[in-house]
Amino acid sequence: MRVLIATAGARGDVAPLTGLATAIRAAGHSVTIASNDEYEGLVVGCGLEFRALPGTHGMFDDLQWVERSGPAAGIGIIRLLAENVRKLHRAVLAVARQDAADVLALAGMTAIGGYQIAEGLALPSMELQLMPTHATADFPPSIVTGRSFGRLGNRVAGMATTAAMAAMGGPAREIRHDLRLPRRGIREVLSGEPGTRRWPVFHGFSPAVVPRPADWPDGYEVTGYWWPQRAAAWSPPPELETFLASGPPPVFFGFGDVTPDDTSGFIELAAGAGRAAGARQVIQAGQTVQHSPSALPPGDSIIIRDVPHDWLFPRMAAVVHHAGAGTTAAGLRAGVPCVAVPVLADQPFWAARLAALGVGPVPIPRRQLSVAALAAAVRDAVALSSYRARAKALSGRLAGEDGTAPIISWLARLGGG
């Protein structure tokens, strides 16, 4: 079967799908990833087919480094995303028609219009999510906060978040009109259950990290993580290998795609916190690094761009990151303590999970970040053996999971295999 995986967003939304796509291909299917054109190198470098979603380049740039979290930020993010949904629908439809796909796999935001597109093209489909997406009493809506409101409050907050998604109902109904599908209400368009729309929702995180809620509908599965595929031609930078070999394991500092505009300030903060904690630093500061060399004493620090986390993180004493879904997973896989500095969207949710799992100290919200606070957290993460022991134990559990297996099985049943 020809499987088209569609996604749009940040690098962390795309990288896990390279591992899933590789597994689907190994099971005998043809598979293509369609996404923002800036990720063509990432996908093709893993030996996979790529299609650019036209008109999506930089479509999420306005979400970078939002300086607030909580319910207000969650609603604001939904509104910003809604502005881009219409062109995303058109792009996914164009690529699905071009590739004559047999199965649509709609990841993240593409699922909003993806259901309508699958129905209009009479194709089976599945939804792929990297964070919890359905209301539950077990925890709050992941895009809003990491703080529980109690079982009743969590469910009410989840339902309210789903209702806020109605801002995207207009574009979804438009794509239905273009496909000559029957008109439906916004609630039915956006929240049809798997039993009605006949597609499963696969969540690519571990049940050891977030157990599947008992009050989720049938068809919502927690599969285990989809680990990113490393590019075949990649090799570690010699200067990084030299740095790692020249002293004790350092601490990683990096905020992924939400690295602040003040890159120099971020580098100095990370280097200052590392020195105050007595740790060497590996600082990931984006593709366009502008900094003062005097901020980094020789031997203490190194600045890197993109290095595969599965190679880098096991070599660290601890990892400091923004608690994005992909980076959180990579830290847990490596079995090293973490310090979470959440900023927006689902990051506070994952940061809270890390603290609850006991693999790192209490998260530091971005607005409370300082050299002193970060240094104290790094010192604890490295020095307290309980964090490392729990991280190692959880890493062992993750190693025994295969998050791609449920999807491969579903495809086999779909094809009569």
**Helix H or strand E encompassing 311:** helix 309-312
Given a cut of 80, whether residue 271 has pLDDT beyond it is: yes
Inform me whether the pLDDT recorded for 263 exceeds 70: no
Quote the pLDDT of residue 398: 97
The pLDDT score that the predictor gives to residue 174 is 81
Looking at residue 66, its pLDDT comes to 43
In a shared domain, residues 7 and 119: yes
**Count of beta carbons in the 10 Å neighbourhood of residue 212:** 15
Examine the domain organization and report whether 340 and 360 are in the same domain.
yes
Res 111: pLDDT: 83
Looking at the predicted structure, is the pLDDT value of residue 293 above 80? no
- Give residue 258's identity as a one-letter amino acid code: V
Average pLDDT, stretch 366-371? 89
In a domain, 230, yes or no: no
Mean pLDDT of the residues in the chain:
85
Q: How much of the chain exceeds pLDDT 70, in percent?
A: 82
Confidence band of 6 (pLDDT split at 50, 70, 90): very high
163 with 265, same domain? no
Flag whether 233 is in a domain.
Answer: no
Assign 233 a pLDDT band (cuts: 50, 70, 90).
Answer: confident
Residue 68, pLDDT score: 44
Residues 105 and 127 in one domain: yes
Q: What DSSP line would sit under 321-383, residue for residue?
A: E---HHHHHHHHHHT--EEE---STTHHHHHHHHHHHTSSS----GGG--HHHHHHHHHHHHH
> What percent of the chain has a predicted confidence (pLDDT) above 90?
58
CATH code of the domain in which 170 resides:
3.40.50.2000
Q: Provide mean pLDDT across the span 248-277.
A: 81
Residue 64 sits in the same domain as residue 120: yes
At 9, the amino acid letter reads G
Q: Are residues 242 and 210 in the same domain?
A: no
Does residue 58 form part of some domain?
Answer: yes
- Domain extent, residue 261, equals 238-399
Q: What are the tens digits of pLDDT across the range 50-73? A: 999 865 655 555 554 344 444 455
Sheet (strand 301-304) strand order: 301-304, 281-284, 251-254, 318-321, 338-340
User: Is 44 domain-assigned?
Assistant: yes
* Residue 74 in domain: yes
Band (98; pLDDT cuts 50, 70, 90): confident
* pLDDT of 162: 76
Residues 6+ apart with CB under 8 A from 212: 203, 220, 221, 222
Buried b (16+ CB within 10 A) or exposed e, 259-284: bbeebeebbbbbbbbbbebebbbbbb
121 and 133 in a common domain: yes
- Check whether residue 214 and residue 345 sit in a common domain: no
Residue-wise pLDDT tens digits, 180-231:
888 776 666 655 545 455 689 999 999 999 999 999 988 999 999 999 999 8
Bigger pLDDT: 172 or 78?
172
**Are residue 215 and residue 295 in the same domain, yes or no?**
no
Domain match, 271 and 307 both: yes
Signed CA dihedral, 366, 367, 368, 370: sign only: positive
- Determine the Cα–Cα distance for residues 270 and 318; give it in Å rounded to an integer: 13
Contacts of 386 (CB under 8 A, 6+ apart): 358
Is residue 1 within 8 Å of residue 29, measured between CB atoms?
yes
Domain count for the chain, please give it: 2
Over 70: is that where the pLDDT of 234 sits? yes
Residue 406 confidence class, pLDDT cut points 50, 70, 90: very high
Give yes or no: residues 273 and 163 share one domain. Answer: no
Residue 128 lies in a domain: yes
Give the pLDDT score at 140: 92
Task: Give residue 390's identity as a one-letter amino acid code.
Answer: R
**Out of 145-154, 283-292, 307-316, 327-336, which region has the weakest mean confidence (pLDDT)?**
283-292
Q: Are residues 297 and 384 in the same domain?
A: yes
Q: Backbone phi, then psi, for 109, in 5-degree steps?
A: -70, -20
How sure is the predictor about 168, in pLDDT bands with cuts at 50, 70 and 90? low
* pLDDT (0 to 100) of residue 292: 43
pTM: predicted TM-score of the whole model, two decimal places? 0.90
